A = this chain, B = another copy of it.
Amino acid sequence: MSRVRVHNFSVSLDGFAAGEGQTLEAPFGHAGTRLVEWFFRTRAFHEMQGRAGGDGGVDDALASAWGAGIGAEIMGRNKFGPQRGPWTDEEWKGWWGENPPFHTPVFVLTHHPRPSLEMEGGTVFHFVDASPQEVLKQAREAAGDLDVRIGGGPTTVRQFLAEDLVDHLHVAVVPIVLGRGERLWDGLEGLEQRFRVESVTTPGGTTHLTFTRP
């Protein structure tokens, strides 16, 4: 059975996974890039962008696990773009340019569906108004034998965790106090009891936790 996985999901010490005030210019809101600096430094991120360079090491080892064996992604609309409410036009094609790093079908959860969007490199965005269970069924069919990644943002990951649909969760705790934004852990009391939890802090100061279904 294919698994449902979350990777490289950064949160602050106070549990915020996104800042306040997302805009076109500030995809992470007031958090800026502070939650993802550890990730931006990795070779995995550089490769994702088609660039050479980046650091190897333990952060990279964890970061690079995100792609292997994934056949589809599910993301929330706030990960796809800064717009809210009905689409005023269909010009917006995500933050990632003509060749997004997913290279699989990507199911974007939205109350405002629009036609699917075929990008270069194998990424196809599908826009669906569905429950976690329903969209997961679609994503599983698209993924075949491969796994499904829940790509974020916090609300989407939290929903899938609350419905106990996640088999593997990789969280990176960044030692900053963000103060405000969107919380990951709300409503998930006792989450750790459903998983085997491992932790490691890397020299850069980021603590990686993996929650794996036993």
Complex Cα gap A179–B15 (Å): 11
Q: Is A205 an interface residue (CB 8 A)?
A: yes
A-B pairs, 8 with minimum CB distance: A179-B189, A14-B185, A201-B201, A177-B191, A199-B201, A207-B207, A175-B197, A176-B192
Contact B201 A205 (CB under 8 A): no
Contacts of A207 in B (CB 8 A): 173, 199, 201, 207
Query: A189: which of B178, B186, B187, B190 is its contact (CB, 8 Å)?
Result: B178
Contact A189 B177 (CB under 8 A): yes
Q: Is A26 an interface residue (CB 8 A)?
A: no
Give A191 Cβ to nearest chain B Cβ, in Å: 4
Q: Is A13 an interface residue (CB 8 A)?
A: yes
Q: Is A117 an interface residue (CB 8 A)?
A: no
Give A12 Cβ to nearest chain B Cβ, in Å: 8
Contacts of A191 in B (CB 8 A): 177
Q: Which residue of B lies closest to A200 (CB)?
A: B201
Contacts of A176 in B (CB 8 A): 190, 192
Contact B177 A192 (CB under 8 A): yes
Contact A13 B14 (CB under 8 A): no
Contacts of A25 in B (CB 8 A): none
> A176-B192, A191-B177, A192-B177 in contact; A14/B186 too (CB < 8 A)?
yes
Kindly supply a per-residue 1/0 record for chain A positions 162-201, scoring 1 wherever the CB is within 8 Å of any chain B CB and 0 otherwise.
0000000000010111111001011111111000011111
Q: Is A209 an interface residue (CB 8 A)?
A: yes
Q: Which residue of B lies closest to A205 (CB)?
A: B199
Contacts of A177 in B (CB 8 A): 185, 188-192
- What are 20 A-B interface contacts by the 8 Å CB criterion? A13-B185, A14-B15, A14-B186, A15-B15, A173-B173, A173-B207, A175-B197, A175-B199, A175-B209, A176-B190, A177-B185, A177-B188, A177-B190, A178-B189, A179-B189, A197-B205, A198-B205, A199-B207, A201-B201, A201-B207
